[in-house]
Structure 1
Amino acid sequence: MKKLFKKQKETVDLNRRSFVIGSASAGLIMAFAPSIMSFDLSAAEAVSQEVFSPTIWWHMTSNGDVVINIAKAEMGQHIGTALARIVADELECDWEKVSIEYVDTHKKWGFMVTGGSWSVFQSFKPLSQAGAAGRMSLIEAGAKILGVKPENARAEKGRVISGNKSVSYADIVKKGKFNRTFSADEISALPIKPANKRHLTGINQDFKALDIPAKTNGTAVYGIDAEVENMVYARPVIPPTHFGSEVKKVDDSKSKTIDGYLGFEVLKDPSDTLQGWVVVYAKNYPAAIKAVDLIKVDYKKGETANVSEDDIQAEGKRLVNSSSAGTLFVDEGDVSKARVNAKENIEALYTTDTANHYQLEPLNAIAEYKDGTWFIHTGNQWPSLTLPVLAKSLGVAQEKIVIKPYYLGGGFGRRLYGDWIIPAALTAKAIGRPVKLVFTRADDSLFDQSRSASTSLLKASFDKEGQFNGLEQAFAAGWPTKSMAPSFMPPGIDGSGKFDPFSASGADHWYSMTNHRARAINNELAQKTFVPGWLRSVGQGWIVWGLESFIDEIAHKIGQDPVQFRLSMLDGKGKQAGKAPESVGGAKRLRNTLEVISNKVSSIKLGKDEGIGFAVSAGQERTMPAWISTAAHVHVNRQNGKITLKKLYAVVDGGLIIHPNGALAQIEGSLLWGASLALFESNAYKDGQLSSTNFNTYLPLRMNDMPEMDIEFVDSNEFPVGLGEPGVIGVAPAISNAVFNAIGVRLRALPMKSHHVKNALNA
C-alpha cells in the first residue's frame, strides 16, 4: 500500500476545468486542468510539461497499478477507501492493484474540508466522472491494440475485452499513447454507471479497506508521531480566559530546575486568535510538561473570568423566552394565529449541557521554516479555513505555508479549525528552530471548542377539535460558524440578522405541518466565554433532541401512537417531496425507515419498567439528508434512577452505500456517541474555564454500558450521502421517549442522569 499520510481536497469547479489524460514517464495520468490552458497544448504535452499544475486525480503505472489521490483527512472514517472505490468502480480496474495517497495543501487541489459528512456526497459525481473518463480512454486505446472498434470493446477488472480477445490495462499503458481532453461539457455528459453494473460499490459489495493494514501493523503515521531535525518540544500554558487574557509577568525560576528546559515565549498573535499565551519549550517533551507545571504566570483576566455554566444556561432560557431574540429560520403558515385561536397550547423547555470532543490524540503540530516556506506537520480537517489565519499570524502569504497531512487520532469537528497550529508556528518563528508543540489532555480540554450548552423552547397549539395544528421552536446556543467561518452565515428570512446554518439545521424538519416556525438565537454569553465548536452532528444533535421528544409529547397529548403520528406527517407533500439528486423521495423515504424499524421491534416483549422509544432524523442538512429512524430499548431502575440502554436499533437510507463496512462502522460509532451524549457526557464552565479536564471527571460511555445494536441499511440506488454524523442525532430523543414509555416521566435535560429520573418520579 502506498503512502497513507498526505492530504488535500478534490472539490473543484467543473465549469472551469477539463479532464486531460496523457502518457507520461510514470505511465498514464488523469488530471483536471484549467480549460483556458488545456486546449493550448495537447493533453500529452500538457501532462509531460506539467505547464498547468495538474490536479492529478489518479495515475496508472506501466504495471497496471492505480494510485488514487485523496484530498481528505483520514480520522478513522475510511474516507480514502470510499473515494478510491468510486474511482475504481467506474475505471473498471482490479481492486488489488489500487492504492491511495493523501495530498498536501497545494492550491491546485482547491477548497479543502473534511467535515459535515460531505466527503462522499460532494466527491461522488466528479470522482465517478474521473473514473469513467479513464475507462473510456483505456477502451479506445485497448480497442486500437486489439484491432476492433471502441464500441465493440468493454472494460472489466483491469482488462479491455472484445469477444475472445483481451488486453490488460498494464499492456495498454505500455503500448498505447494517450492524448485525450474532455471539455467541461463532455465531463458533465459522462454517464455514471447504473447500480447493476457496479462491482465495487453498493450494499452487497465486500472488498478490503486500503487504510486498515497500516493502522493495525503500526506503520500509519499520525500527527503526534511526526518528527523533524533540530526540533524542540513545547507545551502551552493555557490562559484563564479564552478572550481578553493578558500576560503581566512570568516567573520561570522553578522551571529552570528541570533538566532539558530551554525557555518560554510570550506570544503576540497578529490574528488575535491567541490572547495571553505563553509557550514553554524544552529538549524533550517530559521536560516541557514539568516546566509548565512549575512556571508561574501572572495574568490580567478577561471579562468572562466569573462566568459559570448556570450563567450560560440562564441566558439561554432568557433568550428563548424573548420574542424579539434571534432570526427566523423557518416561518410557514401563521403560527401566531394558530396559537391565538387554539383550544389549548402546550410548551416544553429542553436543554443540553456543555459537551467536549476528547478525541484520543491530543492536539499537536510541528512548525518548521525551511527554504522560505513554513511546513506544518499535523492532522487538520479544514486547511482552507486554517491557512488564512495562520498566514496572518505569521505575516506571510498563504502560498508560503504547506500543511503536510497525517492520520488524525480522532477529529469529530475539533480539528476543523487548526487554531492549535498557531502557537507552534509563532514559537518556532520566535526561537528560529522547528517546534513540536503537544497539548496534554488537560491542555487540550481547556483549549477545546466545546459544544455549547443549549436551550430549546417548543410550543404546540391544538385547534377547536383538539388536533395539533402548529409548532414553534426557539433555540439558543453558542455558534461555531459565527466564531470561525462567519462568511458561511446566511441572513434570516425575516431580515433581522444572520444565523449559523449548522446550529439551526434539524429545525427545518421533513414533517408536513400547516403552521411551523423556527427561530435561531445566538447565546452571546457563551460566544464570548469560549469558541463554540462543531461537534459530531453539530446543531442537529441538540435541536432534534428537543424536537423529537416534543413530537412524542404532542402525540401523547392528542392520544395518538407516536409512531403513527409521525407517519401521518411524513407524507412527502410539497417541499417535503425532496429533489434530485440528493433527496429524491423526500419524507417518504424517512417514512419507510420508520415503518421498517417499527415492524422490527413490534414483537419485543418488554419487562417491568422497560420501554421502547422512537425518533426520526434526516441529518446532516436538508441539502444532504441521511434518512434514519432510531429505536431505543431501555430499562429504568425506579429506586436509584439508573437508565440502562439495552439495545439500539437503526434503519438507515443513505442512498447508494459506497463502502459497506465503513458505513457500518460510521453508524455504529455515531450511535454510541449519541448514547454517550444522551446519558453520560457533561461538562460545566466555572470561573470562565471548563471544570472537567480529563477522563477521571469527564465521563463518556464506558464499555460496561455498551448496548447491543441492530443496524439495517436500506438497499438503495439513490445518490449517496454522508453517514459520519447523522447516526448521533436520533439516539437521545429515542432514549427519552423510551424512558417515558417505561416509567411515565418526561426528561428534558441532557445528559439524562439518575437524579433527573428520581426528581421526576418524586415530582
Structure 2
Amino acid sequence: MARLGDRSPSTILRRRSFLIGSAGAALAFAFGDVADASQVFPPSKHDTGDTSFAPTMWYSIDPDGIVTINIIRAEMGQHVGTSLARILADELEVDWTNVRINHVDTDPKWGLMVTGGSWSVFQTYPIFSKAGAAGRLALIERGAELLSVPVDTCVARDGAVASGVRWITYGEIVKAGINRSFTPEQLDALPIKAPAKRRLIGRKVDALDIPQKIDGTARYGIDAHKDGMVYARPILPPTRYGSKVIAVDDSAARNIKGYLSAVILNDPSDTVPGWVMAIAKTYPAAIKAADAIVVQWESGPTASISEADLQNRSRELIADPSTGSILDTGDTDTEAVFKTASRTFEQTYTNATALHFQLEPTNALAFEENGTFEIHTGNQWQTLILPTLAIALGRSEPSIVMRSYMLGGGFGRRLNGDYAVPAALAAKALGKPVKMILTREDECRFDSARSPAVQTLRMAFSAEGEVIAMEHHAAAGWPTEVLAPSFMPMGGNGVPYDPFSINGADHWYEVGAQKVRAISNDLAKKTFRPGWLRSVGPGWTNWALESFMDEAAHEVGKDPVEFRLSLLKAAGRNAGVAPNSVGGAARQHHVVETAAARAGWGEKLPANHGLGIATSFGQEREMPTWVACVAHVEVDRTTGEVRVHKLTSVVDAGTIVDPGGAMAQVEGATLWGLSLALFEGTQFVNGQVEDRNLDTYTPLRIGGVPKLDVTFVETSEPPTGLGEPPTTVVGPAIANAIFAAVGIRLRHIPIRPDAVLNALSS
C-alpha cells in the first residue's frame, strides 16, 4: 500500500481502485500509516483541561462537545458535507445540533481528494462508519472510567455516555482527558450499527451549509480576494493545442482606464499554449482590454476541424477491428457465434458535443506567500491538478496548496482544474496576486466538453429468437486518457481503456458471447480537451445500449419490458458479489418491473402519445445503482416538438443516507438527462465549439419540466452513487417513447424538432 506521503501521480490515481477494495483496506488507507498507533488516536494532554480529542484525522471533539468533521469532498449544491457528516455522527452517537463540517485544503494526509463519479457517499461510508464507531467506543470506555462503573453498563447517546441514571457528556470526557488507540485490525473488526438502530442515516435533518448560503457568508471561488491583487481575463488562441503567439498589439487597450499590461504565458505543462492574459486593476477593465488587444497567432493543426470530421473519424476507427481495447466480459468470441446465428441485428447511434454551463464560470486566484504558492478556487479533484501546477510553475508539489471553496456548479467541469494554471503562471510572471475569471464565452471555448461519440451495436439471435451474442463498439474522445492516464485499466487484449468512456456498455444482461470495444478518437484528443460531464461514459453508452435493446425487442416481436426482464437473469458474472452488488441483475430486474407497473405500462394512450422504458446500473459494476425510467411523451406531428409529460423512475441505490439529498440528486440528474436528450448540444466549427452562450445553447427551461415520480427501493444494502445514474436512462426512454407514439426511430441526441419532422416525412 502506498503511504500517504507518496504523491506521485500514478500512486494517487491508483487509489480509486484501492478504495473500492475491502473495508479493512480502505480503513488502513484512510487512517494513514498506522505502524505507530498513536498516529490514529493521538494522546490527549490531560493537564491542559481544554484539549480537543481527535480520534482520527477525520474529526475532533472539543470540550464543549462540538464535533467538527473534516470533509475532503467539494460542495457544489449537493450538501455533500451533510450527507457524509451524518454517517460519522450516527455511529458516534452525537446530537446533530453539535455537528460542524470543515471543508479542508489540500494536504498529503487526506489522500485522494475528488468529488465525482457518484463516489462520495459510496467511498466514505465504510471509512466514516468505522471512524465514528471507534470514537464512540473510546468515549464509552473513558466515560465508564470517569463514572466508576463497568464499561458493559454504559451506552452512548446524544453526545453523552450513560450508565443507568448517571451520565457524562462527551465534552466533559474531553475536558478530563482521553487516551485511546486502535490498530488497523481492531478498526476493521469494529461492528457498526444495525440499520434499525440508526438515528441519523435515512432520517430528515437540516443541511449544515444552508445558513451560510442564505446569509451570504458562504464563500465561492469567485469570491476569493487578496489585498493587492490584479484581475486577468485570457485572450484565447484559435486552437486548443499548438497555437503560438507571433505578436501582441495592446495599443487600443492602453486607453482603457485600469488596464495594466498584456502577459504572454509560458507554460511548460502545455495546459494553456498560446494564451495571452489582459491584466487590469478591475475585472470590467480586464474584460474590455481583452477585447481590445490584438494578438497574431500561428494556429495549431486543428483549426479547420468540424463536428463531422470528429464523427467520421470515430466511424473509421470502429470499422477497423484492430483498434481499441476489449473489455473482459467473459466469453468475447462473438464472431464465431454471429456466423451461426439465424438472425442478426445492427444499429449505430451518435451524440453531439455537450458543454457544462455551470452557473459560476471557472476562476482562480493565485499568489505566493511565505514560500507557498496558494490557489484559491472551487475544484472537484484537487489532487489531480497539483502535479500539473508543479510542472507549470517549476516548483515542488508540496509547496503548492489548493484552498477549498464552494462551487457554483461543477457537473464534472471542475474535475479538470486546468483553469488554475493560467492564473498561477500570471501570478508568477507578475510577482503579485492574480485573480482570473473567464467570461461565459471564454468558458465555452475553454470548456472540457463531452466528446461527440459514435457507437455501433450488434446482436445475434437463435432460430427461436433467443439472444446468443452481442457486440458494443464505442468511439469518442477519452478524458481520462488526457487528464489521468494512470487511471486506465488494461483491457483483455492488452490495450488500456478509459473506464469513464465505456462504463455502462459492460451491462448486466445475459446475452451469451459478449464483446465490448472501447476506442479512443485521436482526432478529438488533438482538437479539444475531452472532459467528464455528469454521468460521464454512461451518458452516451446507455443512450446507445437502451435504444438498441428496445429496437432489438421489436426486431424479434417482443414487448420491450418483457424482453429486458428475460435477459436480467442474475447468473454467472451478472449474479453480483458482496458487498456492493449483492443480488446483481435481479435488482435491475426489480426496478424495471416496478417502474413499468407504476407508469401503467401496456395501458391505452391517446394518439401521438407513447411510453418508453430504459434501465441502467449507473456508473460502474463495482458500485451499481440500479435505475429504471419510463417516459411518457407526446409528439406534435406538425412542429416536430416532443413534450415529456411524465418521467417515472425507480432507483435502488442501497441504503439512502440522506433522503432529501437523494431525492434532489435524482430529480436533478433526471432533468439533466432530459436536457441532454432534447435540448443540449453544440458542434465544432473550425476547431472551436459553435455555441458560446445561453442564447444559442438552450438547456431545458422551467416550462419544460415534466411531472416526476421517483421511488427508492427500501434496502439495507451498502449505499452506492446517486448524483449521476438517473441521468443515463432518460434519453433512451424518451427516444423509445417517441417510437411508441409515432413509429419513428431517432438515433442521435439531442433530438431536435427538425429531426423528428424529417423522420416523420421519410
In the alignment, the residues of structure 2 paired with residue 42 and residue 101 of structure 1 have an alpha-carbon distance, to the nearest angstrom, of: 20
Partner of 1:147: 148
Are the counterparts in 1 of residues 40 and 57 from structure 2 also a CA contact under 8 Å?
no
In the alignment, the residues of structure 1 paired with residue 718 and residue 633 of structure 2 have an alpha-carbon distance, to the nearest angstrom, of: 34
Matched, 1:593 2:566: no
Are the counterparts in 2 of residues 17 and 35 from structure 1 also a CA contact under 8 Å?
no
Q: Cα deviations across residues 254-296 of structure 1 (Å, max 9, x unaligned)?
A: 0111000000110111111121110111000000000001110
In the alignment, the residues of structure 2 paired with residue 62 and residue 33 of structure 1 have an alpha-carbon distance, to the nearest angstrom, of: 26
How many Å apart are 1:432 and its aligned residue? 0.8
Structure-2 change in CA distance of 1:33 and 1:171 (3 Å)? same
In the alignment, the residues of structure 1 paired with residue 167 and residue 210 of structure 2 have an alpha-carbon distance, to the nearest angstrom, of: 33
Partner of 1:201: 201
Opposite residue 508 of structure 1, the aligned amino acid is D
Q: Cα deviations across residues 549-569 of structure 1 (Å, max 9, x unaligned)?
A: 110111111111111111111
Opposite residue 455 of structure 1, the aligned amino acid is V
Partner of 1:723: 722
Opposite residue 424 of structure 2, the aligned amino acid is A
Opposite residue 513 of structure 1, the aligned amino acid is V
In the alignment, the residues of structure 2 paired with residue 277 and residue 47 of structure 1 have an alpha-carbon distance, to the nearest angstrom, of: 57
Match of 2:309 among 308, 311, 315: 311
Aligned counterparts, 1:252-651, within 5 A: 252-333=250-331, 334-495=333-494, 497-602=495-600, 606-651=605-650
How many Å apart are 1:47 and its aligned residue? 11
TM-score normalized by the length of structure 1: 0.94
How many Å apart are 1:144 and its aligned residue? 2.1
Structure-2 change in CA distance of 1:17 and 1:713 (3 Å)? closer
Q: Cα deviations across residues 84-120 of structure 1 (Å, max 9, x unaligned)?
A: 0000000000001111111100111112111111111
Structure-2 change in CA distance of 1:87 and 1:48 (3 Å)? farther
Structure-2 change in CA distance of 1:739 and 1:411 (3 Å)? same
In the alignment, the residues of structure 1 paired with residue 414 and residue 350 of structure 2 have an alpha-carbon distance, to the nearest angstrom, of: 26
In the alignment, the residues of structure 2 paired with residue 57 and residue 528 of structure 1 have an alpha-carbon distance, to the nearest angstrom, of: 41
Partner of 2:102: 101
The worse-fitting range, judged by mean Cα deviation, of 314-323 and 248-257 is 314-323
In the alignment, the residues of structure 2 paired with residue 486 and residue 41 of structure 1 have an alpha-carbon distance, to the nearest angstrom, of: 33
Are the counterparts in 2 of residues 597 and 631 from structure 1 also a CA contact under 8 Å?
yes
Q: Cα deviations across residues 664-715 of structure 1 (Å, max 9, x unaligned)?
A: 1111110000000000011111110111100001111111111110111111
How many Å apart are 1:465 and its aligned residue? 2.8
Partner of 1:180: 180
Partner of 1:24: none
How many Å apart are 1:619 and its aligned residue? 1.3
Alignment size in residue pairs:
740
Opposite residue 401 of structure 1, the aligned amino acid is I
Partner of 2:8: none
The worse-fitting range, judged by mean Cα deviation, of 327-336 and 274-283 is 327-336
In the alignment, the residues of structure 2 paired with residue 216 and residue 637 of structure 1 have an alpha-carbon distance, to the nearest angstrom, of: 42
Are the counterparts in 1 of residues 55 and 134 from structure 2 also a CA contact under 8 Å?
no
SS of residue in 2 equivalent to 1:509: coil
In the alignment, the residues of structure 2 paired with residue 448 and residue 510 of structure 1 have an alpha-carbon distance, to the nearest angstrom, of: 33
Matched, 1:82 2:83: yes
Are the counterparts in 2 of residues 17 and 33 from structure 1 also a CA contact under 8 Å?
no
5+ long unaligned stretches in structure 1 = 1-7, 20-30
Partner of 2:216: 218
Opposite residue 663 of structure 1, the aligned amino acid is A
How many Å apart are 1:39 and its aligned residue? 5.1
How many Å apart are 1:16 and its aligned residue? 8.9
Are the counterparts in 2 of residues 329 and 504 from structure 1 also a CA contact under 8 Å?
no
Opposite residue 324 of structure 1, the aligned amino acid is S
Are the counterparts in 1 of residues 467 and 512 from structure 2 also a CA contact under 8 Å?
no
In the alignment, the residues of structure 1 paired with residue 508 and residue 341 of structure 2 have an alpha-carbon distance, to the nearest angstrom, of: 24
In the alignment, the residues of structure 2 paired with residue 324 and residue 526 of structure 1 have an alpha-carbon distance, to the nearest angstrom, of: 19
5+ long unaligned stretches in structure 2 = 1-11
How many Å apart are 1:755 and its aligned residue? 1.3
Q: Cα deviations across residues 543-599 of structure 1 (Å, max 9, x unaligned)?
A: 110000110111111111111111111111111111111111111111111111111
Partner of 1:233: 231
Opposite residue 741 of structure 1, the aligned amino acid is A
Partner of 1:116: 117
In the alignment, the residues of structure 1 paired with residue 391 and residue 523 of structure 2 have an alpha-carbon distance, to the nearest angstrom, of: 27
How many Å apart are 1:42 and its aligned residue? 8.3
Partner of 2:64: 63
SS of residue in 2 equivalent to 1:419: coil
In the alignment, the residues of structure 1 paired with residue 746 and residue 572 of structure 2 have an alpha-carbon distance, to the nearest angstrom, of: 34
Identity of matched residues, %: 50
Are the counterparts in 1 of residues 56 and 131 from structure 2 also a CA contact under 8 Å?
no
In the alignment, the residues of structure 2 paired with residue 323 and residue 16 of structure 1 have an alpha-carbon distance, to the nearest angstrom, of: 39
Are the counterparts in 2 of residues 143 and 150 from structure 1 also a CA contact under 8 Å?
yes
SS of residue in 2 equivalent to 1:123: helix
How many Å apart are 1:722 and its aligned residue? 1.3
